[in-house]
Every structure is written in C-alpha cells, then in structure tokens.
Structure 1
Amino acid sequence: MRHYELYIVEEDVARQYYGQESKLFYLFLEHEKVRGSQKEILRKQIEYITKPIPSLLLQQKLKQDLTKIDGYRKKKNNHVIEIAERDSKAELVIGADALYLTAKGTYEVETLFFEILRKVEPSFFAFSIDDHRFGWLKPLKQEDFLRMNQV
C-alpha cells in the first residue's frame, strides 16, 4: 500500500526550492520523527511555507471530473476510486492543511487524482514518508523558473 501526503507550498517558496525538493521533504520527515518543542517549531515552519487547502474548489473539481468514472464514490471529504478488474483502489482525504492519499494496485488510480489536483493548484508537493519519494505534481517549467529569477 502506498501513502502520500500533499501540501500546497507557497509559490515563492516553490520557486526558491526548485531543484532542491529534498530539503522540503526532509522538513516534513523531521516533523514526523521529532517530539516536543522541536515538533512545534517544525509545524510552524510548515504552516509558514504552505497554504490552506481550498476544500470547496477541490470538492467541486473532483466531483466534476470523477463522476463519469465507474468505481468512484464520495462521502464527505473522502473520495474513493476502485477499479475491481485491476484490483486497484485509491482514497483521497481532504484535510484543512493537507491531502492524504492511500493507494494499492496499479498506479493508474492515484494518477487520476494527481491529474485533477495539478490542474487546481500549481504548487502541490507530494511525498511518501515510507518510500522516501517526493516531488511536485506540476513541476515548474524551466523557462518560467528562469524568467522568475530575472525579475
């Protein structure tokens, strides 16, 4: 089973850490590991560099794009896609500050969610603590990055 957390990173931070995504990942990783006052400091740093999840917009977009897919169901902030013939399932939970995606089977089910999310917000950062995998759902284009640095 694969588990992902997804945060919307402030665009100026996303630009600054383009090509250095591992630094962002290790911030989230440390937050998971530590306890006490250090955890609180890391939580505040994460709050500072991330934006709240636009829940209503996401709910609308997910419902609009996924209702045509067999095996899709929704219950409050939980969206599930199940493809029985491929023994695959993904569940997306919408929180106030983050999204949580759990998937099993083929990568197709989680990709359906990722494709919708990348259209909604340009700076979604996804990671899997268990697998040490991380990255942008919609990477910055090199020419956009260069243009931003020239300003």
Structure 2
Amino acid sequence: MRSYQIYWIEESFANHYYGRERMFFGLFSDWEESSGELNQIIAKQVEFITKPIPYLPTQRILQHELVKVEGTKWIEATARIEREDSGAALILNEKCISIDAWGPHDCEYIFFEILRRNMGQLLAVDLKNERYGWLKPIKQRKFIY
C-alpha cells in the first residue's frame, strides 16, 4: 500500500527550494519520527511553510471532476475509487490531503491529475516508500542575456 500526504507549499518556499525537494521530504520525515518538544518545533516549521487546504472549494472540484470517473464513491470528506485490482482513497484535511492507494498506480494518478490541474504548489510525500515530488512542476524562467 502507498500512502501520500499532499501539502500546499507557500509560493516563496516552493520557488526557493525548487529542485531541492529532498529538504522538504527530510522535514516531513523528521516531523513524523519526532516526539515531544522537537515535534512541536518541527510542526511550527511545517505550519510556516504550508498553506491550509481550502476545504469547500477543493471538495467541490473533486466532486465535479470525479462524477466522470467510473467506480467513484464520495462519503463526507473521503473520496474512493475502486477497480477490480486497484483503488485509492482520498481524505481531505485542513493541513493536507491524504491518499491511500493499492494495486497498480492508475487510481491515485486520477486524484493527482485533478489536483494538479486545479491547484498550485502541491507537494506529494510518501514517507514509507521515500517518494516525493511536485504534482505540478514549477516553470522556470529562462533569461536571455
């Protein structure tokens, strides 16, 4: 099973650390593994670099887009896509979006694509499998000298 947390990163941090996503991964990994006072300090850092997920607009976008997808169920803050051999569940939270997926990757990619098209600076992190990346890569400006 794959488990992703998707964070909306503040634009200034996303631009500054583009190409160094490993630093974000390290921060979220340390936050997950820490406890006590260190956990509180890292939580404040995470809160500083992330933006809250706009719950109702995100829920409307997902509901509107998922109507077209076969095998979709929506129960409160959870969307599920289930196929014969794969599936994914998306849970909408205030600070992050969680996606749990099993089987081939096709169901989670449906969620990723919807989020990519409709929101910016989203960073997906799978701590267990050490995978991370932007859902929509930041376009780099090319300067001509």
State how many pairs are aligned: 143
Give the aligned partner of residue 95 of structure 1.
93
Letter of the structure 1 residue corresponding to residue 105 of structure 2: Y
Give the aligned partner of residue 74 of structure 1.
74
Aligned-pair CA distance for 1:142: 2.2
Give the aligned partner of residue 48 of structure 1.
48
Give the aligned partner of residue 129 of structure 2.
131
Q: TM-score, normalised by structure 2?
A: 0.95
Residues 1:108 and 2:106 are matched in the alignment = yes
Tell me, in whole angstroms, the C-alpha distance in 2 between the residues paired with 1:132 and 1:103. Answer: 15
Residues 1:15 and 2:15 are matched in the alignment = yes
Tell me, in whole angstroms, the C-alpha distance in 2 between the residues paired with 1:68 and 1:51. Answer: 29
Cα distance per residue 1:7-29 (max 9 Å; x no partner): 00001100000010000110000
Counterpart among 111, 115, 118 of residue 117 in structure 1: 115
Query: How is 1:30-49 mapped onto 2 (pairs within 5 angstroms)?
Result: 30-49=30-49
Tell me, in whole angstroms, the C-alpha distance in 2 between the residues paired with 1:45 and 1:102. Answer: 25
Q: Secondary structure at the match of 2:107?
A: helix
Tell me, in whole angstroms, the C-alpha distance in 1 between the residues paired with 2:36 and 2:71. Answer: 42
Aligned-pair CA distance for 1:56: 0.8
Give the aligned partner of residue 65 of structure 1.
65
Tell me, in whole angstroms, the C-alpha distance in 2 between the residues paired with 1:10 and 1:44. Answer: 14
Aligned-pair CA distance for 1:33: 0.7
Tell me, in whole angstroms, the C-alpha distance in 1 between the residues paired with 2:73 and 2:138. Answer: 32
Letter of the structure 2 residue corresponding to residue 118 of structure 1: R
Structure 2, unpaired ranges of 5+ = none
Tell me, in whole angstroms, the C-alpha distance in 2 between the residues paired with 1:6 and 1:56. Answer: 17
User: Over aligned residues, Cα RMSD in angstroms?
Assistant: 1.0
Tell me, in whole angstroms, the C-alpha distance in 1 between the residues paired with 2:94 and 2:63. Answer: 18
Q: Secondary structure at the match of 2:113?
A: helix
Between the aligned residues of both structures, percent identity stands at: 39
Give the aligned partner of residue 24 of structure 2.
24
Off by >4 Å, runs of 4+ in structure 1: none
Letter of the structure 1 residue corresponding to residue 106 of structure 2: E
